[in-house]
Amino acid sequence: MAATPKAAVECNVGPIRFLPGPNRGRYPHCHSVYVEGAGVLIDPASDRERLTRLRDEEGVREVWLSHWHEDHFAHLDLFPDAIVRIHPADAPPLADLEVLMDWYGMDEPENRSLRERWAEYIVSGFHFRPRPESELSFFAPNEEIGLFPGLSARVLHVPGHTPGHVAFFFPEPSVLFLSDYDLTPFGPWYADPASSLTRTIASVRALQAVPARRWIPAHDGGVLTEAPPALWDAYIEVPLSRERKILDFLSEPRSVDDIADLWLVYRKPREPLDFYRWAERATAKKHLKRLAERGLAVCEKGLWRRA
Ligand SMILES: [Zn+2]
């Protein structure tokens, strides 16, 4: 079991201001960060009223997105005049709602209704407005950004959760914004078509090696004042133990639906059922592909078994 990290509900570390999202920043919310003196807001999907006040009273010059997911851009529409920066690999879904839906991989015929409902929710619940590439600015690979004398930000490209996921390290106050490598007991999400569990694990280990003294995940907890090795190990163990269970289960030929029926991600059926089934299937398919690549599983006539 992971050691329980110490967490503060809200705190500033030097000019780095933690803006907690509602309900501990759980989906559909996240935590935001505001860099005082620089007017930089990271992941504008925390409290909408608070972000509106921040814009009106203190000003937001730039919005930085850690990645393309809706629970990180939900209130981006409040900042039409701000420079919006993202890694170029994550730009396509922001430009087009249909591309965004494609990036979720809801392309099977049985998911047509889910896709339509989900697209409506992205617009109504997350205020999606298309942002073509011409309206975005891009982070350069591992860019170091001077914010003002005595404060810089390193943009760390940590793909896996999404291809263009970035984390932000502020070396002077030793603060690392982890975004969705959030060290929660739920573990990482790697079920999008362009997600990779293998790259997720490499990115988590890369983030673990950053010499930070405060860690800010985008969900749950708060500002972590310690992040012991056991916490990182437990986070990676979530998908790895899932994968071991799947490999055990493949002692008999199994379909993707058989694996989804195990509810290895959400533990039990939840509503809306078609959404959670889709997530279980997408996750199962990711593991099966990884097992096949390593020569541990094969598929014959739609059924998977151990190699
Ligand atoms: Zn995400």
pLDDT digits over 129-149, tens only?
999 999 999 999 889 999 999
DSSP 8-state assignment for residue 4 = P
Residue 284 and residue 209 in one domain: no
Contacts of 9 (CB under 8 A, 6+ apart): 20, 222
Please check whether residue 240 lies inside any domain of the structure. no
Whole-number pLDDT of residue 10: 53
pLDDT in tens, 117-133: 999 999 999 999 999 99
144, 28: one domain:
yes
Task: State how far Cα 76 lies from the chain centre.
Answer: 16
Q: Evaluate whether residue 239 is within a structural domain.
A: no
pLDDT value at residue 54: 97
Considering the chain, what is the average pLDDT of its residues?
95
Residue 248 CA, ligand 1 centroid: distance in Å: 29
Rounded to the nearest whole angstrom, what is the distance from the C-alpha of residue 180 to the centroid of ligand 1?
Answer: 5
Which two three-digit tokens encode residue 167? 């984390």
Alpha-carbon Rg for the chain, nearest whole angstrom, is 20
Give me the helices (H) in the chain, please.
Answer: 22-25, 48-57, 70-73, 92-95, 97-104, 112-124, 197-208, 229-249, 256-260, 273-293
Mean pLDDT, residues 88-103:
97
Contact 197, 234 (CB under 8 A): no
Query: Residue 291 has which token pair?
Result: 């097992």
> What residue type is assigned to position 88 of the chain?
P
- The CATH number of the domain where 271 resides is what? 1.10.10
CB 16 within 8 A of CB 32: no
Which of 270, 293, 156 minimizes the C-alpha distance to 211?
156
Tell me the average pLDDT across 112-119: 92
Instruction: Please state the domain count of the chain.
Output: 2
298 & 151 share domain: no
Confidence of residue 109 (pLDDT cuts 50, 70, 90): confident
Check whether residue 224 and residue 258 sit in a common domain: no
Q: Using an 8 Å Cβ cutoff, are 222 and 182 in contact? A: no
Residue 4 CA to ligand 1 center (angstroms) comes to 23
Contact status, residue 91 vs residue 136, Cβ threshold 8 Å: yes
Question: 306 CA to middle of ligand 1, Å?
Answer: 31
CATH code at position 121 = 3.60.15.10
Show the domain range for 127.
Answer: 7-234
Query: Residue 304: enclosing H or E segment and its boundaries?
Result: strand 303-306
> Cα of 27 to ligand 1 centre, how many Å?
10
171 or 12: which carries more pLDDT confidence? 171
